[in-house]
Amino acid sequence: MFTLSARRARPRSRRLEATFQRLSRRMADFSGTAVAFCLACLSLMLWLVTGPLFHFSDAWQLVINTGTTIVTFLMVFLIQNAQNEDTRELHAKLDAVLQELRAERGMMHDPGLLALTPDEIVQEVRAGDD
């Protein structure tokens, strides 16, 4: 009984993840466009214009504070998800390039390289160039 419900949850979870991936990619791509910037400026100007109507009240200020907080909160998750996806793709491509280079040059994988810091790797590369 437990395994049956766990099996049903996996496809739904994957669909949700895939949908979130597509949404976050589209939103991250859109948020960096001139159109998005213009929409943000237009929203800000609209808020400013309504200031005299509401006598620059606390509620009027609360609208922009709440709106920007919500947008910022949601964009953090969307952009982080898109960044994680980019990082995974980059690592996969770098791994493929490294495998090809190792195969081409007859190099063996050295697990000791994984323990080195970036500075130590740079020193090793510079020492090999001399």
CB 89 within 8 A of CB 73: no
Give the mean pLDDT of 96-122.
73
The answer to whether the predicted template modeling score (pTM) of the entire model surpasses 0.85 is no
User: 122 is in which domain, residue-wise?
Assistant: 2-129
- Give the angle subtended at the CA of 90 by the CAs of 76 and 22, to the nearest 5°: 45
Q: Please say if the pLDDT value at position 57 is more than 90.
A: yes
Give the pLDDT confidence score for residue 1 in this predicted structure: 46
C-alpha radius of gyration, the chain, whole number? 25
CB 107 within 8 A of CB 101: yes
pLDDT tens, 59-95?
A: 999 999 999 999 999 989 888 888 888 899 988 888 8
Rounded-to-integer distance, Cα 67 and Cα 55, Å = 19
Percent helix, strand and coil across the chain, each to the nearest 5: 85, 0, 15
The tally of domains found in the chain comes to: 1
Give the pLDDT confidence score for residue 79 in this predicted structure: 86
Residue 57 structure tokens: 């009240």
CA quadruple 11, 16, 19, 25: dihedral sign = negative
pLDDT tens, 7-33?
A: 555 677 889 888 888 888 888 889 889
- By the 10 Å C-beta count (0-12 exposed, 13-18 middle, 19+ buried), 24 is classed as buried
